[in-house]
Structure 1
Amino acid sequence: MPELIRRIKPSTAMENQNSNPETNSVGPPSALTYLDPHYWDERFSSEEHYEWFKDYSHFQHLIKSNIKTSSSVLELGCGNSQLCEELYKDGIVDITCIDLSSVAVEKMQSRLLSKGYKEIKVVQADMLDLPFDSESFDVVIEKGTMDVLFVDAGDPWNPRPETVSKVVATLDGVHRVLKPDGIFISITFGQPHFRRPLFNDPKFTWSMEYNTFGDGFHYFFYILRKGKRCNEEKEDEKCSDPSISLYQDELEGEDYLFRTRIDDDED
């Protein structure tokens, strides 16, 4: 497996300011610590719950608009998030979660069983090499997990080839395991001008649209619909971006440094 990919997340100097009472964060000394697999095993050993990019209540309306209760769902990088539990409470019971950390997987399995959520499956797996048959899921969802691939990307306008290769490998796997009319949902800080060139690689048949959520600062909720790609000549008409505001100051928890990392890289 690529040595850099193991539950890496954007970092911040503000981690200890998270007010979630269920959180016992093991804050790293620097962003590069997120590239160390041992950090994540250690963190998940002591931390019970942490939510990246807002909790479910902030984008629940978008989930309900795009996922049917009958859908089979794959969550990439579950960590110790409550996303799968919230989906389950909303009636979506065919859920498979993966994470590369064995500690995260074991603790998630125990937590779900203790709450009686026996239908949710949790599997140790690499998002770069998904161990599932083609066309297995109606929905693939990730919340902050793909942002891991950009921690060491360099120039965000021209990311390192190694970064692009990993992102495309992840998207290849997602596209493969989605059913012909399946959707990929990506919840991220990544702005459209950075994500669009990757999502719109010619090998993929999905369309791309997005919504934003958050009070002030915007988080992005991308929806990629397999088999629905716009024709190039109609791209401007049917795939235009909504108007958004990008430069507010609603920043919290470990989201902070990823928001400011572009400026830091230029120093």
Structure 2
Amino acid sequence: MEETTENTHGCGDISGPGEDRCSDNDFGPSKLGTRQYWEDAYQKELETFKDIGDVGEIWFGEGSMSRILRWMERANIPENTAILDIGTGNGALLVELAKSGYSNLMGIDYSPASVELAKNVLQAEDLTDVTVKEVDFLNSQGELKGFDVCIDKGTFDAVSLNPDNTNQVKQLYVEALKDALKDQGHFAITSCNWTKEQLLDRFSDGFEFVQELPTPSFQFGGKKGNSVTALIFKRVH
């Protein structure tokens, strides 16, 4: 069954019903694209977790994680598959992947507070075999290689809002993704800022579109649309 609601926490700019989101430059830079914003945000969530055990908000809501897990099950992704969670945040997706039986997991984030929070959350769940590292994906310099699956829930949205060299940042992301994924490896992206058409264009070089995952839809003024886009790509050389 398709979800009817979804938490789009953190989205920098969601176009309204019927608006054209086909331009790659239709919203400007934001503090959501800065490292300091996320370090401050995750520092607060870390302190809250240590105080009361609350992991904080789940990016796009629990439905977004369930959608990815359902795709992985349908695609028969082996449990020992090397999986990279790009921009792991509080590590909630890593927890769900581990509980679903996936054993070769790594989460990365450029925020030290995020990394500490994710490690604390995993430890609280007694999931000690999951790797979490402080890594800037855009400047990983070959550190990230050999992954069968890369997952992004909102990280590309955030880096796209970087106030400095926005176009260069987006291209750096694509190149880093190419380096991280094995040939024929899969990339699952969930976005609230980019349409299917925009993502197809952005990841046209080195990737093959596989499928679109169903996301909640809305209807306004006789027009139907989606506030979230979820796509699967395959790495091709």
Is the pair's TM-score, using the shorter chain for normalization, greater than 0.5?
yes
Does residue 169 in structure 1 map to residue 172 in structure 2?
A: yes
Q: CA deviation at 1:36?
A: 4.0
Q: In the alignment, what sits opposite 2:117?
A: 107
1:97 aligns with 2:107: yes
Seen in structure 2, the aligned counterparts of structure 1 residues 137 and 35 have a Cα distance that, compared at 3 Å, is closer
Structure 2 residue 36 is the aligned partner of structure 1 residue 38: yes
Q: Distance in 2 between matches of 1:124 and 1:97?
A: 9
How far apart are residue 143 of structure 1 and its match?
0.6
Aligned residue pair count: 193
5 Å matches for 1:168-187? 168-187=171-190
How far apart are the structure 2 equivalents of 1:73 and 1:65?
Answer: 16
Compute the RMSD of aligned alpha carbons.
2.5
Supply the distance in 2 between the matched residues of 1:198 and 1:104 (Cα, whole angstroms): 27
Superposed, 1:55-74 pairs within 5 Å as 55=62, 56-66=65-75, 67-74=77-84
Q: Sort the Cα spacing of 1:71 and 1:34 in 2 relative to 1 into closer, same or farther, 3 A.
A: same
Q: Which of 178, 196, 200 lines up with 1:196 in the alignment? A: 200
What secondary structure sits across from 2:182 in the alignment?
A: strand
Structure 2 residue ranges without an equivalent (≥5): 1-9, 15-28, 46-54, 219-225
* Structural mapping, 1:13-52, within 5 Å: 32-47=30-45, 48-52=55-59
1:76 corresponds in structure 2 to 86
- Equivalent AA in structure 1 for residue 101 of structure 2: G
Q: How many angstroms does 1:211 deviate by? A: 1.7
Return the match for 2:131 from 108, 115, 121.
Answer: 121
Q: Please list every run of 5 or more consecutive structure 1 residues that lacks an aligned counterpart in the other structure.
A: 1-8, 14-30, 154-159, 229-267
Please tell me whether the aligned partners of residues 43 and 113 of structure 2 are also in contact (alpha carbons under 8 angstroms): yes
1:63 positional shift:
2.8
- 1:26-54 Cα deviation digits (max 9, x unpaired): xxxxx833244333222212223212223
* Secondary structure, aligned partner of 1:128: helix
Query: CA shift at 1:109, angstroms?
Result: 0.9
Shift of 1:166: 1.4
Moved more, 187-196 or 53-62: 53-62
CA contact (8 A) 1:135 1:180 kept: no
Q: Which amino acid aligns with 1:60?
A: L
RCO comparison, higher one (Cα < 8 Å, 6+): 2
C-alpha spacing 1:132/1:110, structure 2 compared with 1 (3 Å): farther
Task: Please state how far the C-alpha of 1:129 moved relative to its aligned partner.
Answer: 1.8
User: How far is the alpha carbon of 1:68 from its aligned partner?
Assistant: 2.3
Cα distance, 1:81 vs structure 2: 4.6
Whether the 8 Å contact between 1:49 and 1:81 is mirrored in structure 2 is no
> Distance in 2 between the 1:126 and 1:133 partners?
10
Which residue type is aligned with residue 43 of structure 1? A
Report the TM-score, using the length of structure 1 for normalisation: 0.64
Tell me by how many angstroms 1:121 deviates: 0.5
CA shift digits 1:115-152 (9 cap, x unpaired): 21111100001110225557421111111110113326
Cα separation, 2, equivalents of 1:65 and 1:93: 18
**Distance in structure 2 (CA, Å) of the matches to 1:225 and 1:69:** 19
In structure 2, how many angstroms separate the alpha carbons of the residues matched to 1:12 and 1:225?
A: 27
The two structures have a TM-score, normalised by structure 2, of 0.72
Query: What one-letter code is carried by the residue in structure 1 that aligns with 2:210?
Result: E
Query: Which one-letter code corresponds to 1:179 in the other structure?
Result: K
Distance 1:78 1:45 in 2: 14
1:211 maps to: 212
Question: What SS does the corresponding residue of 2:185 show, helix, strand or coil?
Answer: strand
Give the structure with the larger strand fraction.
2
Aligned partner of 1:112: which letter?
L
Q: CA deviation at 1:163?
A: 2.5
